[in-house]
Amino acid sequence: MTITARHALITGGSRGIGRGIALKLAEHGVHVAINYLRDEASAKQTLEQVRARGSDGFTVQADVSKPADLDRLFTRVGQEFGGLDIFVANARGEVGTFFEPAMTIGLDKWDSAMDSQAKSFLVAIQKGEKLLTDGGRVIAITYSPGTISGSWQSWVAMGAAKSALEVLCRYFAVALAPRGITVNAISPGWIDDSVLTTLPGEVQQMIREHQEHGWTPMRRLGTPADVGNAVALFCSKEAGWITGQVVAADGGASLMSAALPLAIQQPELAHA
């Protein structure tokens, strides 16, 4: 796997999945701009870990849901890096800003989800396009189960926002293809040290047990490093012919069917 990129911007890069991506890219010599919203201390810790891997970068505060902040963010990246080889759209608002069932959600929470995802991605690509080098990589972190189902009712705003994000990846993939820039989305499964850890303790335990009992065939939660590995693959020179795709990095969870009992899908579990 060959990564020739030297400069990356990761929104929401201070912790969790964003940190996992930053550290993996740093291992390949990529300098990383680590965007954060409020947790400056975590952003600095991530930068220290980036430097421990022999790379470098800087931290930059910005609320990606605000176009003026995005303008400031890309201006800073241009000043520090001169250009941009990789842009990873990973930032997401805190659960409380959008988590509400479909029948009761207000427009404030709906707008919060849309602004942090689809609107943010649209504005970011428009503002960052001039910085992106030919042959660059754009990667959005989505959550496909929330875009195709209606079962997790309180995820309705984020599910709709992520769905719009995936659509934008396809449109931008076509728009940027003449420059050799690929645009793809990665859909992680349940990842430790992510949105999972913001949920109530009993809910976290139920989700962990659900995956470990077989609904994720690999019998474990994912890690930020797992997502970082997937991003690194898309950033490689060898992945230059893949664009406009949504790829699951979920340990096989998306292969399971809610229409069949787990013991039928994985018979060995019936005798465990």
pLDDT number for residue 192:
87
Q: How far apart are CA 40 and CA 34, in angstroms?
A: 10
Q: What is the number of structural domains in the chain?
A: 1
| Strand positions, DSSP E, 64-125 | 84-89
What are the structure tokens assigned to 222, written together? Answer: 């994912």
Note whether residue 173 is domain-resident.
yes
Note whether residue 163 is domain-resident.
yes
pLDDT at residue 177 is higher than 80: yes
Domain range enclosing 60: 7-205+222-258
Closest CA to 195 of 98, 121, 69: 98
pLDDT number for residue 269:
60
Note whether residue 186 is domain-resident.
yes
Least confident of 17-26, 138-147, 160-169: 138-147
Average pLDDT over residues 79-87: 98
pLDDT number for residue 180:
98
pLDDT number for residue 213:
84
Note whether residue 264 is domain-resident.
no
Average pLDDT over residues 150-172: 95
pLDDT at residue 241 is higher than 70: yes
Note whether residue 268 is domain-resident.
no
Note whether residue 267 is domain-resident.
no
pLDDT at residue 168 is higher than 70: yes
Burial bucket for residue 21 (CB in 10 Å: 0-12, 13-18, 19+): buried
Note whether residue 158 is domain-resident.
yes
pLDDT number for residue 36:
98
11-57 residue pLDDT tens: 999 999 999 999 999 999 999 999 999 999 999 999 999 999 999 99
Note whether residue 269 is domain-resident.
no
193-234 residue pLDDT tens: 777 777 778 888 888 888 888 889 999 999 999 999 999 999
With residue 139 as reference, give the H or E element that holds it: strand 132-141
Q: Indicate which CATH number applies to the domain containing 177.
A: 3.40.50.720
> At a CB cut-off of 8 Å and minimum separation 6, what does 59 contact?
14, 33, 34, 35, 36, 40, 43, 44, 46, 47
Round the average pLDDT of the chain to a whole number and report it. 94
DSSP 8-state code for residue 104: T
Q: How far apart are CA 258 and CA 97, in angstroms?
A: 29
Sheet holding 7-10, edge to edge: 57-61, 31-36, 7-10, 84-89, 132-141, 182-188, 246-249
- Answering whether pTM is above 0.85, one says yes
DSSP 8-state code for residue 48: H
